[in-house]
Structure 1
């Protein structure tokens, strides 16, 4: 059965699209039209505009397009959503917002202390990994998917934790926590990959379906209220719509296991690309500053020799 039966609102989330459109126009107004009103502002670069536009587009695709609807039907598509939203869209938005705006955000008295704590590398990686793992515990995920407010709150909080997790790697300024050495960044990403592995492994190797909202007809119909208007869902339920098996021939267990595999593979690919960039940047810095670094090492050895 085609997913088009759910209607235009469920497929394309027009209100969510309008919300993102307003946020994008506000971004352009602040960074271009009203920029001169802000002290210390700088012209918006093409790279920043591309990153922000791509980030907003990915947010809409994962949470407003038919991909979101499919994410409530197939657990494997849900994990694709998670990977794209948390591991691609989040860093794109960080890089797309100009540094002068971040500087002002981190200077707000109410936010300054909270943001500086939550973006510290150790705290950021623990919070993100913990929230991701807890979110995919069967009891938690099923509970969240049956409540629109809970789902919205937890999704936003999880996305914010992803922003905090990426911040120490992407930030190059002194007004907020950052990681200067390439080796530290590499170790940080490897640790992040390790920390969410148990959650993925649990999903992959469990031998029975564990999520009620992807197998029980009643729970699934309630969870579909997150993206399908109540009137449309009531009509379809009355017409005999019973569960996700109507839209796919894939067994529920295979779909669940595939979701864990997809999440882990996409994470490894994305982290691999980022690690490659970090390594190349670090290598070029070491190569271009080899003489200076050698001189510093020689001076340090002479200083230590004086105390022997």
Structure 2
């Protein structure tokens, strides 16, 4: 059965397009037009604008395109959506917003305390792993999918935990303590390990775990998260099997595997960049030490001549 029966709004989320366009306009107003209103600022870099636009485009693709609709039909699409939403979009956002804008935001009285606690590497790692694992517990997952308000609140805090988890890796605000390269490597590995049990439970469970992908009534109720109720009421649907040829258990296992693969790829790229930065820093430091030693030797030699 074609997805077009759910209508244009469910397929392309026109309201989300409006929100994203609004955010892009505000971004360029703040970073270009209103930049001089900040006490400290720098011209917007092309790389920063590129990262922010990538974040907005990626967010729309995974939450506004037919991928979002398919995530309510197939668990595989849900896990792919989660992987990019939690592991890549926060990275792009952190790198896309200039440091001097971040500095103003995170030094606000209330925000400062929150950041100080939840961006601590140990805290951010465990909170994200806990939120991700809790989200995918069968009873919790179905409850989230069946209540629009609960879904919105829990997804927001899950994304926030992912943002805090990514912050120590890529934040570069002058004056703030930066994590050393060796600790960044250990941090990435630790995060990969901590969410492995949740993925393993999904992959190796011998039975389908989620009623919203197996029970027709629960699935139809969950579809209200992305399809207008008026549209659903006019359709005669029995369950997700109308749009999916995979068995529920196979769909669940594939989703868990893809989540783990995408996570490993993203973390692998992050590790590569950390290694490269570390190598460049070490090479720069070695060059600096060599030049300094040479100057000291020459100065000592000249003083001995006199």
TM-score range for the pair, normalised by the shorter chain length:
over 0.9
How far apart are the structure 2 equivalents of 1:175 and 1:108?
Answer: 16
How far apart are the structure 2 equivalents of 1:18 and 1:241?
Answer: 30
Q: 1:233 to 1:175 in 2, by over 3 A?
A: farther
Q: CA deviation at 1:172?
A: 2.4
Provide the secondary structure at the position in 2 that maps to 1:289: helix
Aligned to 1:127: 127
Residue pair 1:106, 1:175 contacting (<8 A) in 2 also: no
Judge which range, 250-259 or 105-114, deviates more: 105-114
Judge which range, 284-293 or 189-198, deviates more: 284-293
Aligned to 1:97: 97
- Aligned residue runs from structure 1 range 57-136, under 5 A: 57-136=57-136
Please state if 1:249 is matched with 2:245. yes
Provide the secondary structure at the position in 2 that maps to 1:43: coil
Spell out, residue by residue over 1:150-204, the C-alpha distance to the aligned partner (whole angstroms, 9 max, x if none).
111111111111110010111123554531x211000000000000000000000
Spell out, residue by residue over 1:195-244, the C-alpha distance to the aligned partner (whole angstroms, 9 max, x if none).
000000000000110100000000000000000001001111xxx21110
Q: If the length of structure 1 is used for normalisation, what is the TM-score?
A: 0.92
How far apart are the structure 1 equivalents of 2:280 and 2:22?
Answer: 41
How far apart are the structure 1 equivalents of 2:175 and 2:280?
Answer: 25
Provide the secondary structure at the position in 2 that maps to 1:44: coil
Judge which range, 48-57 or 29-38, deviates more: 29-38
Aligned to 1:197: 196
Aligned to 1:305: none
Please state if 1:156 is matched with 2:156. yes
How far apart are the structure 2 equivalents of 1:60 and 1:286?
Answer: 39
Aligned to 2:54: 54
Aligned to 1:306: none
Q: Which runs of 5+ in 2 are unaligned?
A: 293-306
Q: 1:44 to 1:220 in 2, by over 3 A?
A: same
Provide the secondary structure at the position in 1 that maps to 2:234: helix
Residue pair 1:50, 1:96 contacting (<8 A) in 2 also: yes
Aligned to 1:39: 39
Please state if 1:267 is matched with 2:263. yes
Residue pair 2:100, 2:173 contacting (<8 A) in 1 also: no
RMSD: 1.5
Match of 2:277 among 272, 278, 281: 281
How many residues are paired up?
A: 292
Judge which range, 209-218 or 36-45, deviates more: 36-45
Q: 1:177 to 1:156 in 2, by over 3 A?
A: farther
Q: If the length of structure 2 is used for normalisation, what is the TM-score?
A: 0.92
How far apart are the structure 1 equivalents of 2:139 and 2:288?
Answer: 56
